[in-house]
Structure 1
Amino acid sequence: MADSPVQSLGFAGLDTPLRVANPAVVRPLLDPVMAAWPFTVTENDPPASAAFATISPAETGKWRLEAPLAAKPVTEYDPVNAICDLVVEMSWERLRSRPDLLCLHAAALTFNDRLVIFPNARRAGKSLLSATLAQRGHAVFSDDFVLLQVTPQTGAISGIANGIAPRLRLPLPDNLSATLHSWIMDRIAVRNKQYGYLTGIDLPQSGTTAPVGAIVVLEGDPTMTEPASLTPVTQEAAMASLVTQNFGRQVHAGAILRVAEALTRTVPVLRLRYNSVEDAAALLHETPLLRDLPAAQMAEADMSATLPLAPLDLPDVMVDRPVDLDCHFAKLPDFTALETGTALYLADGDGFAIHRLNPVSAIIWTLLDEGLTGAEMAEVMQELYGDVPAERLRADVAGALEFLWQERLIAPCSTRQMEV
């Protein structure tokens, strides 16, 4: 296979191409999966260093995927599993090419002219739900990762279609109707024993945009006997769902918090509890709660705040001695704080990480504005929690300060610095 032809596929929106060896073998499986992601073909043999990945059939019958920036730079898999890994690497390459985009582990489908986002939830079956909604005519922007962009001039938050066919686990569940089972299997064009890619559906071209109109948190419950239900979710619960599903590569953590807050504030956030995926899809398709949806919108104040790209890595802050509770600490500049209900989220000024503070750390964060030493904070905590031993409270305060220090949110300073 060393003398096999090589093609360079330049996918729209990616800065570097995909290198395909022996395209006569690879393309019949790859093309249906990327059915709605336009690409150009160059018939040459580009060096591997010029491509974000190289995919090629191996002598063993497996396919070899070489992606230097992946967690595993070289892998050999069954052809369909190799394509699964390639899809993941293509999503990362898209973020490398557009580091300003946010990205959520989620499915996203259109309901009229709005995009409804379904954040990832363990064993919730978002891909199967996406397929079932596709049967009812809903366009699938993504069944796995959703790119989000904010229009600078208007603050509108939109989702971007990825153009990749949804991937389903095989075999399909036994509780599907014969009609749905046949509809799905008739459209599985690329498959092995584990996975199948669903083709022949309404799959918008990669790069197509639609305003975000709602968020639906999935809660699959195999023990349910009652019909599927759709109920409002608090902003606090919605924030927790969105923040934990973000994997934007270089988006500043402060920007992620602001966009998540805007989403949960300006569009409906609902929880879908269900057992039967067909029951759930019917409810979503018919409910008036997903009609005449608003468009997600950033606040003007957040639109005007520009944040740099976050670093890809930072050296650890070394706290190499016990926290001195007689010391003063100060908040480091440019942090982002967001409070929803009883939850407090913080992003450091570098934009490297988002933290949801526990109750003790949240109180300590507030007390930092009073100019107190760690020991004085412990005395305040003693007034709040009189039944907790003083030494335990001092240890809790020290632990909270150490955590905030390590995460680049505060730093120790002298009394003189505090007074200045």
Structure 2
Amino acid sequence: MLRYAGLHAPLRVGAPDIVRPLLDPVLAAWPVAQEGADVACPAPFATLQPSDGGRWALDAPLAQKPLAQHNPVNAICDLVVEMSWERLRSHPDLLCLHAAALTFGDSLVIFPNARRAGKSLLTATLSQLGHAVFSDDFVPLSVDAQRQVIRGIANGIAPRLRLPLPDNLSESLDHWITGRIGPRNKQYGYLTGIDLPQSGVTAPVGAIVVLEGDPTLTEPPTLTPMTQEEAMAVLVTQNFGRQVHAGAILRVTDVLTRSVPVLRLRYNAVEEAAALLHNSAALRDLSAARMPEADQPGMLPLAPLDLPSVQCRLPVDLGQAFCKLPDATECETGTSLFLADGSGVAIHRLNPVSAVIWKLLDTPLTGLEMVEVMQELYPDVSRDRLCGDVSGALAFLWQQRLIVPDAAG
């Protein structure tokens, strides 16, 4: 049994003399807090052990996936995912971003996940330039209760690179990465022997860089500011947590996108992009993102793990009056309105019709009264079309636990 620091439940490892030589380099900076058959803690969150034919089996009961036989490196890849979820089960108040995170000076720069944008290769290239790697995949966030600073937490896991490496890397970078690839198979390799802070180490979030890889780009890479609206749309889709209230996620995302630089990196060549980031004045002397005390995640309850579906009567009766449910969290940026329901289950970016209806419902109104208002706002749209749009918007808001029929209406 191995209980890693920060996790409540242990990992059971079968045949440790076979498993640990591959596993330990991947978790090089995630210390084992307890080890041995007599580890006194809950049942293991996962069991990793060799099976027939050189395959490994990962049994993770809470993953709700069938037991599968893996190539050893793929089994470790799946285990890393389960360890990230176990961290959140152990600390359900943590927010978490699908993102990479590296130090720039004393601060963290967050790189939200973008499929096939070269995030892990960029992480490796920045590591070569001296930036410590907090994560290349998931970044837990906490709010310092005393200083109100939003901080990222190192996960202590080696970055995972897709193999083979692209053939357009310089000889020096290719040699540097290749010499540090530890456990590997034909598909993935883990980058070891780099500046990897120990799991649990924290640093203040100072900037966010959204990656936009473009293989057709022939010009040098660019680093340009994003609007808060654009940044919110990216970050709310990268947030996940076991029981973090959606309102807390929305508040933290709002503060991050208002208080630290949010930039878009458009690039093709990874080394040019890393050099641009490394030398950018916009990523020097960064100030920490701070949460007003009243907005801290701990001020909201944990979200329920499961809620029954809402029984919404369809089609919606436009003669029925509706009202807002209490305790919703809202954030307005530019032309977008983001809402988290009071139960804390989800965040929604409302379309223009739904946003207007939400604002109208500061006092209870019937659907027909909303249609009249919409007719004044959109005189060129037919009444039938408006009735359909209002009915659809009401059904959506109702099903998402944002409004209910008014009992007095």
TM bracket, shorter-chain basis:
over 0.9
CA–CA separation in structure 1 for the residues paired with 2:66 and 2:60:
5
Paired letter, 2:368:
A
Cα gap change, 1:304/1:96 in structure 2, threshold over 3 Å: closer, same or farther? closer
Structure 2: 5+ residue stretches without partners: none
Paired letter, 1:215:
I
Aligned with 1:369: secondary structure? coil
Q: Aligned to 1:167, which of 155, 160, 185?
A: 160
Q: Aligned to 2:91, which of 80, 98, 106?
A: 98
CA–CA separation in structure 2 for the residues paired with 1:372 and 1:57:
63
Q: Aligned to 2:105, which of 106, 112, 116?
A: 112
Aligned to 2:288: 295
CA contact (8 A) 2:182 2:191 kept: yes
Structure 1: 5+ residue stretches without partners: 1-7
RMSD: 1.5
CA–CA separation in structure 1 for the residues paired with 2:389 and 2:124:
49
Q: Which moved more, 1:35-44 or 1:96-105?
A: 35-44
Q: Aligned to 2:322, which of 320, 329, 334?
A: 329
CA–CA separation in structure 1 for the residues paired with 2:70 and 2:217:
38
Q: Does 2:397 match 1:404?
A: yes
Q: Deviations over 1:113-164 (max 9, x none)?
A: 0000000112111100000000001000000000100012221100000000
Aligned to 2:370: 377
Q: Deviations over 1:167-196 (max 9, x none)?
A: 000000111111111100100011000000
Q: Following TM superposition, by how much is the alpha carbon of 1:304 offset from its aligned partner in structure 2, in angstroms? A: 8.9
CA–CA separation in structure 2 for the residues paired with 1:150 and 1:48:
27
Q: Does 2:72 match 1:79?
A: yes
Aligned with 2:62: secondary structure? coil
Instruction: Report sequence identity in percent.
Output: 71
CA–CA separation in structure 1 for the residues paired with 2:285 and 2:354:
41
Aligned with 2:241: secondary structure? coil
TM-score of the superposition, structure 2-length normalised?
0.97
CA–CA separation in structure 2 for the residues paired with 1:49 and 1:205:
24
Cα gap change, 1:40/1:372 in structure 2, threshold over 3 Å: closer, same or farther? closer
Q: Which moved more, 1:264-273 or 1:65-74?
A: 65-74
Paired letter, 1:326:
G
Aligned to 1:395: 388
Paired letter, 2:88:
L
CA contact (8 A) 1:331 1:411 kept: yes
Q: Which moved more, 1:364-373 or 1:80-89?
A: 364-373
CA contact (8 A) 1:19 1:46 kept: no
Paired letter, 1:231:
T
CA–CA separation in structure 1 for the residues paired with 2:75 and 2:298:
41
Q: Which moved more, 1:151-160 or 1:278-287?
A: 151-160
Q: Does 2:69 match 1:63?
A: no
Paired letter, 2:65:
K
Q: Following TM superposition, by how much is the alpha carbon of 1:300 offset from its aligned partner in structure 2, in angstroms? A: 3.6
CA contact (8 A) 1:142 1:161 kept: yes
CA–CA separation in structure 2 for the residues paired with 1:382 and 1:138:
56
TM-score of the superposition, structure 1-length normalised?
0.95
Aligned to 1:232: 225
Cα gap change, 1:47/1:65 in structure 2, threshold over 3 Å: closer, same or farther? farther
Q: Which moved more, 1:69-78 or 1:123-132?
A: 69-78
Q: Following TM superposition, by how much is the alpha carbon of 1:303 offset from its aligned partner in structure 2, in angstroms? A: 3.4
Q: Following TM superposition, by how much is the alpha carbon of 1:45 offset from its aligned partner in structure 2, in angstroms? A: 7.6
* Alignment size in residue pairs: 409
CA–CA separation in structure 2 for the residues paired with 1:322 and 1:110:
52
CA contact (8 A) 2:256 2:289 kept: yes
Q: Which moved more, 1:66-75 or 1:352-361?
A: 66-75
